[in-house]
Structure 1
Amino acid sequence: MAPLPYDPPFGAPCWFELSSPDPDAAESFYSQLLGWQFEGAGPLGLGSAAHSEGLRVAGVSAQPPGQQGPAFWSVYFRVEELSAHLAHVDEAGGQALMAIPDFDGSAGVALTSDPAGTAFGVLAYDDDRAMQSFGTAGAVQWAELFTADPTVSDFYAATFAWSFSSLTGSEVAAGDMEGSAASQQGYWAIEHAGTRIGGVFDASAVSVPAHWEAHINVNDVDALVERVRELGGDVLAAPHDSHHGRVGRFIDAQNAAFTLVSPA
């Protein structure tokens, strides 16, 4: 039986998009690694949409001419009404970097940042334009915030009504740089509408720039390590046990960081 489409609740991840200097090469990398099929466009009518099991799970778009650099993943969260949400962002100490309240007559989009300067997107829509699968094989399982200032959790609690629960180092990871740092620094699960949707990693002890990162659900992360290398990517953290399964952190052939997870 085919999986039912996922309808993101307000405040939950609704889209993950790779901004790439070479979209064709990016599509080739992820299709060969994850079996993604690319067809149609993303929720903003740009680039191409990746499908797994016939459902939209992510997108790839081209970086603007003259602004090309390493590829990077971005996360978008669903909001009910864009202008009201941006007012909450401002009140909580964040910033709207770009906003299009009426993108195409039925959606609004904004690029925003938290008080520490970490960028993320928000989408307001009431149709079936965004992610159709979350937490299933081939789709994103978890959204993780790397930040040197974990007090930004107050910002996300105020703007998305998230709650946070602290995890111990042993629950976070074992035998890798994240696990060691988390034992000393901290890791918090993000909970929303009764579901864990991601985590906050205190990156103040490691050399990792603040960013949001996608954890993509796969059947066997260990089996994909050499495949990542064969396709031109590399390993940032070897597969290890964590709070939500066995995870490995990688970069693709265009230096975009991502995590693969085989759920426990």
Structure 2
Amino acid sequence: MNRDATLRSDVISSHAVVGAPCWVSLTARDQQAAEDFYRAVLGWRFREARLMDRFRIAYAEGVPVAGIAAVASMWQMAVAWTPYFAVDSADEAVARGQERGGTTAVGPIGFPPGRAALLADRDGAVFGIWEGQLVAGWETWRRAAPAFLRLHTRNAFDAAMFYGEVLEWATSEPGCIEVHYDGDEVVLRSDGDVVARIHSGAVEAAPDPTVRPHWQVHFAVDDVDACVSAALAHGGRVQEGASSQEAVLRDPDGAQFTVASRKER
């Protein structure tokens, strides 16, 4: 059996992992430039997707790990990496978000084999929701992506309440997210594994978007220094404070993400 066939047999629905991070997607301006950059920095390969035009799926060792959509200019959206969370019902999750002071930017709209929406929480941090079949089996995606999420927000505990109610964390739903408190952070676990953290300290009115509330996507890599060198060689930028364990990078369009040593995960 080939690798793709194995992956297809592992595909599951968002209903099995309600509230869990299940995908990350980049909104870009130039599709080819984005593919060239992430191929050089993260070693990804790309294939066309059936979801929509201007959309590609990134693969790491044959496993679909992320999406890239060249729609930033067309849809007048910010260039950014966005995490998506699995939900039972996109309509109900959007309604819960609006009832609790969040806003809806896009959707819910159909992207076979599911439905998606793009929202912002009360402090303006953007996130997505997904209802339907996952692109790859959830455990397969978590092992291969591998993406770790951190929300930089004004008040971690207030944000945890918002997301917990919208995404049904800490409930009896199958595979639901466990919420724990660790000092000034909220730690999110699935089956005991940390999948995200919520950290206080972001400032809503800060002129620098990296200081305003936002979700930061972290990718585990074997060699942080090599990623930094490749990013610089392909038009990217490196934030101050980079080390051999972790570095915050920007792609040529300005989208920010973090690479962290796989050994430190």
Q: TM exceeds 0.5?
A: yes
CA-to-aligned-CA distance 1:84-105 (integer Å, 9 cap, x gap): 222332343323333235x156
Contact 2:91 2:108 in 1 (8 A): no
Deviation at 1:109, TM superposition (A): 1.4
Tell me how far apart the structure 2 counterparts of residues 146 and 17 of structure 1 sit (CA, whole Å). Answer: 18
1:20 to 23, 28, 35: 28
**Partner of residue 256, structure 1:** 255
Matched, 1:155 2:199: no
- What 5-or-longer segments of structure 1 have no aligned partner? 169-185
**Partner of residue 95, structure 2:** 87
The structure-2 alpha-carbon separation of the partners of 1:254 and 1:148, relative to structure 1 and needing over 3 Å to count, comes to: same
CA-to-aligned-CA distance 1:51-86 (integer Å, 9 cap, x gap): 001010001111254556763111111111222222
1:33 maps to a residue whose letter is: V
CA-to-aligned-CA distance 1:205-226 (integer Å, 9 cap, x gap): 7851221121111112133222
The structure-2 alpha-carbon separation of the partners of 1:67 and 1:202, relative to structure 1 and needing over 3 Å to count, comes to: same
Deviation at 1:149, TM superposition (A): 3.0
Moved more, 85-94 or 228-237: 85-94
Deviation at 1:159, TM superposition (A): 2.1
Matched, 1:224 2:227: yes
Deviation at 1:140, TM superposition (A): 3.2
Tell me how far apart the structure 2 counterparts of residues 93 and 70 of structure 1 sit (CA, whole Å). Answer: 21
2:128 maps to a residue whose letter is: G
**Partner of residue 152, structure 2:** 146
Structural mapping, 1:232-247, within 5 Å: 232-240=235-243, 246-247=245-246
The structure-2 alpha-carbon separation of the partners of 1:235 and 1:192, relative to structure 1 and needing over 3 Å to count, comes to: same
Tell me how far apart the structure 1 counterparts of residues 226 and 178 of structure 2 sit (CA, whole Å). Answer: 34
Tell me how far apart the structure 2 counterparts of residues 70 and 84 of structure 1 sit (CA, whole Å). Answer: 26
SS at match of 1:117: coil
The structure-2 alpha-carbon separation of the partners of 1:81 and 1:39, relative to structure 1 and needing over 3 Å to count, comes to: same
Tell me how far apart the structure 1 counterparts of residues 155 and 70 of structure 2 sit (CA, whole Å). Answer: 31
Contact 2:65 2:141 in 1 (8 A): yes
Tell me how far apart the structure 1 counterparts of residues 180 and 134 of structure 2 sit (CA, whole Å). Answer: 32
The structure-2 alpha-carbon separation of the partners of 1:24 and 1:52, relative to structure 1 and needing over 3 Å to count, comes to: same
Deviation at 1:106, TM superposition (A): 4.5
Matched residue count: 241
Tell me how far apart the structure 2 counterparts of residues 107 and 189 of structure 1 sit (CA, whole Å). Answer: 28
The structure-2 alpha-carbon separation of the partners of 1:125 and 1:195, relative to structure 1 and needing over 3 Å to count, comes to: same
Larger fraction in helix:
2
The structure-2 alpha-carbon separation of the partners of 1:29 and 1:128, relative to structure 1 and needing over 3 Å to count, comes to: closer
CA-to-aligned-CA distance 1:94-139 (integer Å, 9 cap, x gap): 23333235x15652211122122222111101364787844435x2
Contact 2:29 2:70 in 1 (8 A): yes
Tell me how far apart the structure 2 counterparts of residues 116 and 98 of structure 1 sit (CA, whole Å). Answer: 17
Matched, 1:212 2:219: no
**Partner of residue 47, structure 2:** 39
SS at match of 1:39: strand
Structural mapping, 1:178-217, within 5 Å: 186-204=184-202, 207=208, 208-217=211-220
The structure-2 alpha-carbon separation of the partners of 1:223 and 1:106, relative to structure 1 and needing over 3 Å to count, comes to: closer
Give TM-score, length-normalised by structure 2: 0.77
Matched, 1:76 2:54: no
Matched, 1:115 2:122: yes
**Partner of residue 179, structure 1:** none
**Partner of residue 172, structure 2:** none
Tell me how far apart the structure 2 counterparts of residues 67 and 80 of structure 1 sit (CA, whole Å). Answer: 27
**Partner of residue 183, structure 1:** none
Deviation at 1:40, TM superposition (A): 2.2
SS at match of 1:77: strand
Give TM-score, length-normalised by structure 1: 0.78
The structure-2 alpha-carbon separation of the partners of 1:140 and 1:237, relative to structure 1 and needing over 3 Å to count, comes to: farther
- What 5-or-longer segments of structure 2 have no aligned partner? 170-176
Taking only the aligned residue pairs, the percentage that are identical comes to 27
Aligned residues: CA RMSD: 3.0
The structure-2 alpha-carbon separation of the partners of 1:118 and 1:220, relative to structure 1 and needing over 3 Å to count, comes to: same
SS at match of 2:97: helix
